[in-house]
Amino acid sequence: MVNADRIKRKLPSLLIDGNTTKRKEQNGLMRYRYRLKRFQKRNPERCNNLTNKIIADLNELEKAVSE
């Protein structure tokens, strides 16, 4: 079972390609975090739909791996 709260917290770091302890990637992480919060505030229905779709896809992936 995928933890929805954890996915919401980890989503910005999943979008970064690289090590987030370096300054350049850390700046990118903060940028993605800020943009995600703005998206949640401006369009909460669409954000929830996309988040639910990501969670459903991860659940399917988890089931496929466990089989």
Residue 22's CB is within 10 A of a number of other CB atoms, namely: 10
Rounded Cα gap, residues 50 and 67, in angstroms? 26
The amino acid present at 42, given as its one-letter code, is R
The three-class DSSP label of residue 34 is helix
CA-nearest of 58, 48, 61, 45 to 3 is: 58
| Contacts with 8 (C-beta within 8 Å, 6 or more apart), sequence order | 51
Q: pLDDT digit string (tens) for 6-45? A: 988 888 888 888 887 888 889 989 999 999 999 999 999 9
Query: 């896809």: which residue's tokens?
Result: 57
Predicted TM-score (pTM) of the model is: 0.75
